Amino acid sequence: MITCFTLVAASLPKSQLAVRASQPLAARQVRAAIAKALVAPVVLVSAASQASPAILDIKGDWVVDDGSAVARVAPCAYEPSRLCAIVIQEVLAPGEESALNQIVVRDIRPTKQGQFSGHYQIGPQKTLPATIKIRSATVLEMKVCMGVFCDTIRLVRRAA
């Protein structure tokens, strides 16, 4: 991995590198400590930015943690720049209405790294705000609130 420090050292003229080698030991140690302090965060940010595209992609099939339904997150038919979650499989309890092939969360869009917002569909013309947080590459948590009452739904990525 190329770090900012590597690039800076490579760009120095050889005459400056020789001067630095001739500096007293204490000065070199101070410079080394400063370089370590500056390089470590750059390496961490670089590693995080390389890993984030895989984690930020929430498209795919997600199973509700109790196994009651599977939702597919994909671009919305009416607005391809946004994502929608559609129920593709469900297990109904007696008396429950089917949500099969219906959009349950619409207008999903990123709000900040690892977090999305959308609208949870509770009726034909009724939605509630939803916040989706990525907990890992295979786990999402969706929080839906009605006033002060909130519910959190945990979803697990279905294995391919």
As beta bridge partners, residue 65 has none
Structural tokens at position 159: 């294995």
Contact 75, 158 (CB under 8 A): no
Across the range 45-65, mean pLDDT stands at 65
Contact 86, 104 (CB under 8 A): yes
Across the range 96-100, mean pLDDT stands at 92
Q: List, for residues 122-155, the tens digit of each pLDDT value.
A: 988 899 999 999 999 999 999 999 999 999 999 9
The confidence score (pLDDT) of residue 82 equals 94
SS3 helix, strand, coil % of the chain, rounded to 5? 30, 40, 30
Across the range 33-41, mean pLDDT stands at 41
Radius of gyration in angstroms for the set of CA atoms belonging to the chain, rounded to a whole number: 25
Please, is 76 exposed, middle or buried when counting C-beta atoms within 10 Å of its C-beta (0-12, 13-18, 19+)? Answer: middle
pTM of the entire structure? 0.64
Q: Using the 8-state DSSP alphabet, how is residue 67 labeled? A: S
